[in-house]
Structure 1
């Protein structure tokens, strides 16, 4: 497989697994229950726009943040890998990780919290974006942003048609999807830790 396409698919699947649009659709439906279709669309659009801006900022400023705080790429990969693994581990057991849990909001604007932060743009999503963008140049950053933009579009469609999707897949279908995404996330997290640890060992030698 072409290396460009392989990298693009890897980044997209990592984002897809950690954002899990299907599972988040049920949360969105619960938070917006009783609202009109127009209001639901507005909230979906605003939450995803905020999420996209946050991830783009971290994707572009990843290297600057590294230099500012003296953080190495292997350190990010190890820490980010652990975060991603923990999210995946909880999903494997059919649970939502506390890192990406929609807690009750004291603000009526649920598009900002809990939808955008921490449900969609949580620590795991941010760590994934920084891991895949900070490792390379403009091409890697562009691929990361483009992959996340496609995912945001898919998530928006899922949110808009949330009632139909939930009735179609049912609770058992949602459980299967969540566990599959959890398995993928756990593997991605382990791979990130392996890459980071390998770089540390190589530097020592």
Structure 2
């Protein structure tokens, strides 16, 4: 169940939005999208951009709404999800900082006939890192914070659509070097988000150790 707490601060809202934007990295996705749709007519590009952004948004909203159900069915605790999400998001961040752009890897060998759902929607835009970020945030949220998370997802979904529509313009302006710089900056932000997930998890463990639940003797 969600908890009742005061309405979240602007800092929380900005943190959620920035975290999702960083892990999605629509700039890098737009560059890949431009290459995959080269030579396509404008109508087909627009349709593909909409389907890809819609797919990614639905996946994120689905995990945000059903995250609590998943916890209950499989017996997960919110603490476990914080740690799992933290490690997975950190893995994605390290890939962006030191390795190959995951968007490029996901796009390799893709058939050009229909790329909207796979690999664009899943896993390039809504992949393990994105899902882990959503699940990490949803653990222990109040109702108002959950609404902020959903709003951040919808705004990011709209931005994905906008970035994909302007993919060729973005590619021309950034170039390969600019794209790498943006990707590494997003990776740095994402690493900080992952570390915060882990720190919050450690704090919860420490709190449980200091204040263990004592059951009444029968």
Q: TM-score, normalised by structure 2?
A: 0.87
CA distance in 2 between partners of 1:106 and 1:165 (Å):
23
CA distance in 2 between partners of 1:192 and 1:7 (Å):
14
Counting only pairs closer than 5 Å after superposition, residues 95-174 of structure 1 correspond to structure 2 as: 95-97=100-102, 101-105=106-110, 108-174=113-179
User: Is the 1:90–1:96 Cα contact (8 Å) retained in structure 2?
Assistant: yes
CA distance in 1 between partners of 2:9 and 2:57 (Å):
22
What is aligned with 1:201?
206
Q: Secondary structure at the match of 2:130?
A: helix
User: Is the 1:103–1:114 Cα contact (8 Å) retained in structure 2?
Assistant: no
Change (3 A) 1:173 1:107: closer
Shift of 1:114: 0.4
What is aligned with 1:28?
33
CA distance in 2 between partners of 1:101 and 1:69 (Å):
29
Structure (1 or 2) with the larger CA radius of gyration? 2
Shift of 1:103: 4.2
Q: What is the root-mean-square deviation of aligned Cα atoms in Å?
A: 2.0
User: Is the 1:87–1:96 Cα contact (8 Å) retained in structure 2?
Assistant: no
CA distance in 2 between partners of 1:160 and 1:136 (Å):
33
User: Is the 1:78–1:192 Cα contact (8 Å) retained in structure 2?
Assistant: yes
What is aligned with 1:40?
45
Change (3 A) 1:198 1:97: farther
Gaps of 5+ in 1: none
Shift of 1:106: 5.6
CA distance in 2 between partners of 1:79 and 1:176 (Å):
28
CA distance in 2 between partners of 1:202 and 1:103 (Å):
45
Shift of 1:169: 1.5
CA distance in 2 between partners of 1:165 and 1:89 (Å):
24
Counterpart check, 1:81 vs 2:96? no
Q: Secondary structure at the match of 2:160?
A: helix
Q: TM-score, normalised by structure 1?
A: 0.92
Deviations for 1:17-45, whole angstroms, at most 9, x for unmatched residues?
A: 10011111111111111111110110110
